[in-house]
Amino acid sequence: MTKRKTSRKKRGGRKRHNSPDFMPEIQPDPTLHEDNIDKLPKILIDCQAKLDDGDINKIRVRLNFVDHKDLRKLNGIRVVDPGTIQMPSKEPTIGCYHPANKSGQAEIWLSSCLINTSKGFETFFDRMTYKDKLFETLFHEIGNHKASLTHSVDKFENEAFAEKYMLAYKKFWKRHHGPSKIYIKVFRYFIKLLRFILIGILYPFKNRNKEINHF
């Protein structure tokens, strides 16, 4: 990974650039096979929701996609109840990163609501629009973990680095796990057809309003 120092302005004190453009370059190296999947960080279930093997596999598949070197020193992924994770402002959030300290090892916490996802048409629509909150949250927190191990990333820039990390991997995730081009074309034609139907339904009402205004 190419590293680049972040620039700082000294006028009026030091100003840190939190824009992803000033972060070290991120060159994703996705894992496209399932070798050594047993060596991934542990998935710890610490919630009341009943999660089956399919739910846990959703995390494992996404976790395996990342470059395994970026997961070193990460003890596990802990799934907790919604509302368990809170920001300093006491507002609930759906994911967070707990860095390693004297009392424990580094962990990523995810809300169980990320795994109990929608089904049916809503799932299909999410795939068409590349909406994957589980992936985005997990990889953002992996980015935070990576930032904590990267000396060229200032602690005040961790969040910007984490977001850039997630977006870099999201491009590859879309390419390998997104909908096929056939599904995308069908979906676009469906939207166009729906639009024409709505126009056909609403057009008579538009003419009727014009006649009423004329009188």
A 10 A CB-CB count for 126 gives 14
Token output for 17: 């650039």
- Are 136 and 209 part of one and the same domain? no
- Please tell me whether residues 193 and 173 are part of one structural domain: no
Query: What mean pLDDT value characterizes the chain?
Result: 76
Of all residues in the chain, the percent with pLDDT exceeding 90 is 33
Given a cut of 70, whether residue 8 has pLDDT beyond it is no
Q: What domain count does the chain have?
A: 2
The answer to the question of residue 127 being in a domain is no
Average pLDDT over residues 80-92: 83
Same domain assignment for residues 136 and 195:
no
pLDDT of 136 reads 93
Non-local CB neighbours of 146 within 8 Å, separated by 6+ positions: 70, 161, 162, 165
- Highest averaged pLDDT of the listed ranges 19-28, 78-87, 96-105, 191-200: 78-87
CA distances from 82 to 62, 63, 86, 89, 203 (A): 21, 21, 10, 16, 46
Q: How confident is the model at residue 70 (pLDDT cuts 50, 70, 90)?
A: very high
CB distance 111 to 124 below 8 Å: no
Q: Kindly tell me if the per-residue pLDDT of 204 is higher than 80.
A: no
CA distance linking residue 45 with residue 85, whole number of Å: 14
* 110 or 212, which is more confident: 110
User: Position of tokens 């000033």?
Assistant: 22
* Full domain range(s) for residue 212: 180-215
Global pTM?
0.70
The closest alpha carbon to 41, from 90, 110, 91, belongs to 110
pLDDT at 91 (0 to 100): 76
The answer to whether residue 108 sits within a structural domain is yes
What per-residue confidence (pLDDT) applies to 116?
66
Comparing 45 with 197, the larger pLDDT belongs to 45
112 plus 193 within the same structural domain: no
Top pLDDT among 209 and 28 is at 28
Share of the chain above pLDDT 70, in %: 67
Give φ, ψ of 73 to 5 degrees. Answer: 70, 10
pLDDT digits 0-9 by tens, 125-184? 555 556 788 999 999 999 999 999 888 888 778 999 999 999 999 988 888 776 555 555
Residues 50 and 151 reside in one and the same domain? yes
- Kindly tell me if the per-residue pLDDT of 41 is higher than 90: yes
Q: Are residues 91 and 144 in the same domain?
A: yes
- Beta-strand runs (E) in 47-158: 74-80, 95-98, 106-111
Same domain? For 80 and 94 the reply is yes
The C-alpha atoms of residue 215 and residue 157 are separated, in whole angstroms, by 65
